[in-house]
Amino acid sequence: MRVSAKTNPHSTGKWRVNGAVQNSDAFGKAFDCTKGQPMMPTDACRV
């Protein structure tokens, strides 16, 4: 994992999927997530 993180330009499968939806307010609304849950962290990136 460490070598892959340093040499592979793509994130691992888990973060390629979860990282993208965690940053989406639409995802949280669609699945009725509240702030602070694992898929709606309070410190998520907002663009």
Whether residue 18 contacts residue 39, with contact meaning beta carbons closer than 8 Å, is answered with yes
Classify each residue of 18-43 as buried b or exposed e, where b means 16 or more C-beta atoms within 10 Å of its C-beta: eeeebeeeeebeeeebeeeeeebeee
pLDDT of 1-47, one tens digit each?
788 878 988 888 777 777 778 878 888 889 998 888 888 888 876 66
Task: Provide the whole-model pTM.
Answer: 0.54
Give one word for 25, left, alpha or beta, with left for phi > 0 and alpha for psi -120 to 50.
alpha
Question: What is the pLDDT, as a whole number, of residue 40?
Answer: 85
3-state SS class at 18:
helix
Look at residue 47 in the predicted model and tell me its pLDDT. Answer: 62
